[in-house]
Amino acid sequence: MLPWILILGIYLWLQRRMMGNIAGGPGGATGGLLAGRFSKPSPTHEQITFDDVAGQDQAKKEVAELVEFLREPERFERVGAEVPHGVLLVGPPGTGKTLLAKALAGEANVPFFSTSGSEFIEIFVGVGAGRVRKMFEAARKAAPSIIFIDELDSIGRTRGTGLGGGHDEREQTLNQILAELDGFAGREAVVVLAATNRPDVLDPALLRPGRFDRHVTLHLPDKTARRAILEIHSRNMPLENTGDLHTMATGTPGFSGADLKNLLNEAAINAARREGDLITHGDLAEARDKVMMGTVRSLAIRPEEKHRLAVHEAGHTAAAYFKPQADPLYKVTIIPRGHALGGTHMLPEAERHTLDEDYLRGQLVTLLAGRAAEKLLVGTVSSGADDDIRRATELARSMVARWGMTEDLGPIDLRQSEDHPFLGQSIAQPRDHADATASQVDAAVIALLKEAERKASEVLAEHQAQVELLVASLEARETLDFDEIRHCLDPEGKVTPLKRPHLGLDKIPPVG
């Protein structure tokens, strides 16, 4: 009987322990289950202020008045003013939404309660709502204070829509957040910050006045902002020449703050790998290539494949050199990196905020010039133009269906629905135009692509001898910079291209 008694005793002990965990009895974990890490502010190892945030001057101005409210709430109360309790930080990934929230807390020198939306979701329905209550209670006791919820869209998606309906635990948690935002008294100096890069899927109840009614948008940094971000992240890095930061800022349009930080880290790793004491320009250039295209791959490429690859890249390069609408060239390579077997890199002289029709048509010509070169010099085409065709088709369809750059269709929005059923939007994909109109869009896209390929073929046929010289140089050296490209395509200097500084690469994937 002794074994059976032991088994029964262990079963009863486990059952009591389980019931205690759920009901909150002695030895239970209800407090920890519901409060998680929200019963006290997250510890900070260093004080972060607005000086640590670069490239988001407009966003800092919008949240600066919150600092005054948290420091002196009585000044606002005297005149009956209420600062918004809910502020939604919106922007692409890596633009510094979390950093800005920490800087706001650092400037105001108040407790900072930080969490992520996914932290509220547990296996037991109601636990998330309980954690919300605990966190807001702790923030009210520590007022003035800041609550920061990262990835708000993980629990704040539109209720009652999407494939398969809602999730009980997620919706109860969202309902509790809405109730807590409405429950602030006028004298409670608590600011709730939330961050998301998908504001389009948030429930409308979250965005109404009185809740997250102030939206602060963080944009990708421009050239000046990128230089400031690089200076902040390189404070403790031994750079051989600080002027390289200007070069990197100029050559990285479209990079976010996180991208720039990662680039500097890769450069530091390169320097450590070669046992250097300083980070050189070569380390930065190699890090940029690695971030954009991946690590160099060792592939056994057959001679005929290498020749076709050189022809393909030479086609892109020649079209970009001889077409005035194309961006300035930086270099061309047939060294495999990441998923690409080669690439033609171009560097815009200035950041573009609008794209004119001539420039876009020039982009189509450059994209399809690789395939045209294969057809001209090899006699057949290959699958190497797969990415070029995809990007050219997307661009041509945008020109026709979004930007009205065709005479027949004109200025009308004919784009397909961009809703995603798995992100809380309707599963139906309605089309607001007739089948005949969709056929016209397809015909206009095909016409644009064929016209671009025809122009690319004309440019390459006109300069076929120079293109063949470029192909031979590429096969021999594998990477050519602008001066070497010009020596092959324009040795006598008859073409006067725009000034092409050796500054860096575009964030847009290189043509390849």
370-422 per-position pLDDT tens digit: 999 999 999 899 888 888 999 999 999 999 989 988 888 888 888 765 544 44
Tell me how far apart the alpha carbons of residues 400 and 405 are, in angstroms, rounded to a whole number: 6
Strands (E), 139-278: 145-150, 190-196, 214-217
Q: What is the mean pLDDT of residues 17-44?
A: 48
CATH architecture of 223-293: Orthogonal Bundle (1.10)
338-342 contacts, C-beta under 8 A, 24 or more apart: 338/293, 338/294, 338/295, 338/297, 339/294, 340/293, 340/294, 340/510, 340/512, 341/299, 341/301, 341/309, 341/384, 341/512, 342/309, 342/312, 342/313, 342/512
Q: Token match 């991208």: residue?
A: 259
Q: Which residues contact 490 (CB under 8 A, 6 or more apart)?
A: 321, 466, 497
199-223 per-position pLDDT tens digit: 888 888 888 887 887 888 888 888 8
Kindly state which CATH superfamily the domain 303-421+431-489 is placed in.
Answer: Peptidase M41 (1.20.58.760)
Q: Which residues contact 12 (CB under 8 A, 6 or more apart)?
A: none
pLDDT exceeds cutoff 70 at 271? yes
Residue 404 backbone zone (phi > 0: left; psi -120 to 50: alpha; other: beta): left
Looking at residue 184, its pLDDT comes to: 63
The CATH number of domain 37-217, selected from 3.40.50.300, 3.30.56.10, 1.10.1520.10, 1.20.150.20: 3.40.50.300
Looking at residue 503, its pLDDT comes to: 42
Tell me how far apart the alpha carbons of residues 121 and 129 are, in angstroms, rounded to a whole number: 9
Residue whose C-alpha is closest to residue 103's, from 61, 132, 40: 61
Helix and strand totals (H; E) in the chain: 18, 8
Burial environment of residue 432 by CB neighbours within 10 A (0 to 12, 13 to 18, 19 or more): exposed
Tell me how far apart the alpha carbons of residues 39 and 396 are, in angstroms, rounded to a whole number: 54
Q: Token match 């800092």: residue?
A: 60
- Annotated catalytic residue 313: yes
**Residue ranges of the domains in the chain?**
37-217, 223-293, 303-421+431-489
**Fold match, 37-217 / 223-293:** no
Strands (E), 103-238: 112-116, 145-150, 190-196, 214-217
Percent of residues, the chain, with pLDDT higher than 70: 80
Work out the end-to-end distance of the chain between its first and last CA atoms, rounded to an integer number of angstroms. 77
Out of 107, 313, 374, 453, pick the active-site residue: 313
Looking at residue 23, its pLDDT comes to: 43
Give the chain's radius of gyration (CA, Å): 29
Handedness of CA 334, 319, 501, 469 (dihedral sign): positive
The secondary structure element, H or E, covering residue 344 is strand 343-346
pLDDT exceeds cutoff 70 at 502? no
59-103 per-position pLDDT tens digit: 888 887 778 777 777 787 788 777 777 888 888 888 888 888 888
pTM over 0.85: no
Q: Which residues contact 203 (CB under 8 A, 6 or more apart)?
A: 156, 157, 158, 159, 174
Looking at residue 82, its pLDDT comes to: 72
451-465 per-position pLDDT tens digit: 999 999 999 999 999
348-375 per-position pLDDT tens digit: 766 777 888 898 999 999 999 999 999 9
Backbone angles phi, psi at 469, to 5 degrees: -65, -40
Tell me how far apart the alpha carbons of residues 438 and 499 are, in angstroms, rounded to a whole number: 42
